[in-house]
Structure 1
Amino acid sequence: MRRLSNMGNSEKFRMAKVSSIQRRATQKVLSVNAEVEIGSNAGRVWSLLNEEGTKSVKEIIKRTKFSELEIYLSVGWLAREGKLNFEEQNNEMYLSLK
């Protein structure tokens, strides 16, 4: 591999451009993977609510072993699809399917 100090400007520009393309491609793959994972997690939350009915967010976290972030991403996914009812009781959020 050549050192940057030994390269001409056009070669440096080409390497920077390739690096930028690789970075965007990597970001796109990560984005697709994240979307698939969030959708899969949302499916698990939906299945839990479908099988067992209304659950608090704390109960869902316990049962799925998802992080709080993963739960809220999943809940957002399901809410965007119009699949959830929300009810607050004693400062705790409960979820059920519509």
Structure 2
Amino acid sequence: ELKAVIEALKIIPENKKIELHSDSSYVLNGLSSWVEAWKKNGWKTSSKNAVANQDLWQELDELSSKFELSYQKVKGHSGDQYNEEVDSLAKKEAEKI
């Protein structure tokens, strides 16, 4: 899920206003609050452990700084048209690996 957001931001022209819809609390909480705390703590969690996927979070943090981002949590597997479409695409791509 982190990689999907990273790859999407790479193809969007900078300085755009973006509303990110996701069913991932991990991604949304990370972007909206955790990243700032991790940076202040030298990329350590509140329990002093290394941040999981630090390389991806750092890349996402750098990319997201180039946009005006807002966030919208959607419930997964609840009939949201776009969420269902993205899930389907992700499954198809995963099968190729």
Taking structure 2 as the reference length, what is the TM-score of the superposition?
A: 0.28
- Say which one has the larger Rg: 1
Higher relative contact order (CA 8 A, sep 6+): 2
* Greater helix proportion: 1
